[in-house]
């Protein structure tokens, strides 16, 4: 994967960083179910958990390592012997195990949290990489708070871990502080400065505190990162991580600007998102890019008219490209006549131009009081109109026998 300069490794941390966010905890069976879905989705690396954190986490990593064979299975560990040994035990059944060890490198974290000097930090990191290499050839190191670290010290750390056999170097924007321009320049500068940079894959892990996680991840790729750490639905600590589905589709839709490939089967994105919401009982926001229920829904009349003439006018990708149901023209107070006509036709309700004008006005009126106007509402509106138009004593016109549900 790393040999192809245009290939971006997708490292999914939904089961580790995502799962440790409040409200998203999953038991062993739930994590295993999602791991199988991530495998089917085509992710390259599944970070299955943080084994030292709890017996359940260790059990989940071991279960996934035994059951899911194609992707690399990673386990997180601090730069501590006990952590690394526990990660190695949990990963023992894996076909392709990776130990992912980390330590903060910023002066703020060293002084305020770790109470370590830079030299002590570097020594702990080197010892951890050496120990991890006893268990597997696939070792990743993350310099926590890398984007706020002193560049000179950070380069010393990176050179040291690569020298010790680390194969992936992750430079996280741990607190979501970066902007796209500085993130791109940061990765380009670090890679140019580290003399042995060509011996490792550089990785990015961006948080969304300023809403820039996906933009920063794409910028990191432009700066030379070839692994992106991300989560389904963007879940994770605080405001979350970069959303896997957004990164994948940005690379696919904007290949003219971002000529990079992933191994993700995009048509499974929606299904995987829905599985996560089912397992955690945490819904995705309606307007969430790619997988939200409104991502391919249109209510404004101008948009609906354009969609009916050519979907490309208002959609830069097709719903089926990501496994979403077909685009919806939602009827409401912003809808236009063309959308009302189209929905009536779809329901087999043939209306004249005079009837259409009446139905359209009724839809707008009803839309002032409702979030959406359903198919049953259209039938009732038309039925009332035709009943009122009948001459006194005339035989009743046949009534639609289709159900009166409120499906949109």
Domain that holds residue 383: 297-389
- The percent of residues in the chain predicted with pLDDT above 70, rounded, is 94
Tokens of 29: 């069976």
- Residue 129 to residue 379: CA distance in whole angstroms: 68
Please check whether residues 13 and 109 belong to one and the same domain. Answer: yes
Give the pLDDT band of residue 408 (cuts 50, 70, 90).
Answer: very low
Please check whether residues 127 and 45 belong to one and the same domain. Answer: yes
3-class DSSP string for 201-251: EEEEEEECCCCCHHHHHHHHHHCCCCEEEEEHHHCCCCCCECEHHHHHHHH
Q: Average model confidence (pLDDT) for the chain?
A: 91
Please check whether residues 183 and 269 belong to one and the same domain. Answer: yes
Please check whether residues 341 and 269 belong to one and the same domain. Answer: no
In a domain, 128, yes or no: yes
In a domain, 274, yes or no: yes
Q: How confident is the model over 295-315, as pLDDT tens digits?
A: 987 878 778 778 878 889 888
Please check whether residues 59 and 166 belong to one and the same domain. Answer: yes
Please check whether residues 98 and 29 belong to one and the same domain. Answer: yes
Please check whether residues 266 and 311 belong to one and the same domain. Answer: no
Among 148-152, 157-161, 312-316, the least confident range: 312-316
In a domain, 289, yes or no: no
Contact assessment for residue 161 and residue 129, using Cβ atoms and an 8 Å cutoff: yes
Residue 398's pLDDT is: 42
Query: In this structure, how many other beta carbons lie within 10 angstroms of the beta carbon of residue 377?
Result: 20
Residue 35's pLDDT is: 98
Please check whether residues 275 and 301 belong to one and the same domain. Answer: no
Residue 395's pLDDT is: 45
Contact assessment for residue 62 and residue 31, using Cβ atoms and an 8 Å cutoff: no
Single pTM value for the model: 0.86
Number of domains in the chain: 2
Q: Which residue has the higher pLDDT, 389 or 367?
A: 367
Tell whether the model's pLDDT for residue 3 goes beyond 80: no
Please check whether residues 261 and 365 belong to one and the same domain. Answer: no
- Residue 164 to residue 126: CA distance in whole angstroms: 7
- The percent of residues in the chain predicted with pLDDT above 90, rounded, is 71
Q: How confident is the model over 114-146, as pLDDT tens digits?
A: 999 999 999 999 999 999 999 999 999 999 999
């Amino acid at each position: 994967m790393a040999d192809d300069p245009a290939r971006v490794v997708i490292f999914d941390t939904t089961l580790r960083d995502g799962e440790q966010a409040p409200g998203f905890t999953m038991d062993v069976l739930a994590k295993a179910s999602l791991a199988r879905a991530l495998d089917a989705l085509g992710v390259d690396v599944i970070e299955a958990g943080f084994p030292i954190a709890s017996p359940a986490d260790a059990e989940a990593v071991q279960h996934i390592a035994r059951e899911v064979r194609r992707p690399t299975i990673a386990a997180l560990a601090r730069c501590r012997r006990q952590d690394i040994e526990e990660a190695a035990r949990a990963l023992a059944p894996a076909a392709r195990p990776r130990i992912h060890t980390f330590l903060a490198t910023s002066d703020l974290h060293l002084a305020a949290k770790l109470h370590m000097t830079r030299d002590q930090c570097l020594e702990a990191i080197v010892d951890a990489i050496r120990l991890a290499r006893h268990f597997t050839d696939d070792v990743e190191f993350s310099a926590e708070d890398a984007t706020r670290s002193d560049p000179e010290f950070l380069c010393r750390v990176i050179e040291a871990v690569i020298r010790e056999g680390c194969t992936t170097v992750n430079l996280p924007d741990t607190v979501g502080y970066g902007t796209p321009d500085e993130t791109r320049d940061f990765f380009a500068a670090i890679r140019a400065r580290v003399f042995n940079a060509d011996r490792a894959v550089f990785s990015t892990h961006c948080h969304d505190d300023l809403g820039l996680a996906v933009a920063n991840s794409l910028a990191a790729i432009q700066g030379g990162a070839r692994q992106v750490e991300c989560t389904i639905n963007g879940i994770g600590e605080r405001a979350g991580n970069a959303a896997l589905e957004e990164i994948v589709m940005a690379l696919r839709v904007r290949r003219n600007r971002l000529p990079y490939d992933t191994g993700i089967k995009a048509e499974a994105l929606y299904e995987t998102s829905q599985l996560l919401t089912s397992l955690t009982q945490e819904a995705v926001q309606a307007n969430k890019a790619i997988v939200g229920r409104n991502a391919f829904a249109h209510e404004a009349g101008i948009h609906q008219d354009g969609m009916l003439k050519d979907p490309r006018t208002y959609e830069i990708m097709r719903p089926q490209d990501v496994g979403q149901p077909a685009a919806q023209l939602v009827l409401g107070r912003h809808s236009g006549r063309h959308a009302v006509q189209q929905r009536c036709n779809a329901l087999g309700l043939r209306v004249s131009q005079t009837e259409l004008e009446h139905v359209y006005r009724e839809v707008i009126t009803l839309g002032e009081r409702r979030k959406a106007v359903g198919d049953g509402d259209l039938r009732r509106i038309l039925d009332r109109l035709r009943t009122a138009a009948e001459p006194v004593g005339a035989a009743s016109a046949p009534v639609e026998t289709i159900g009166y549900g409120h499906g949109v």
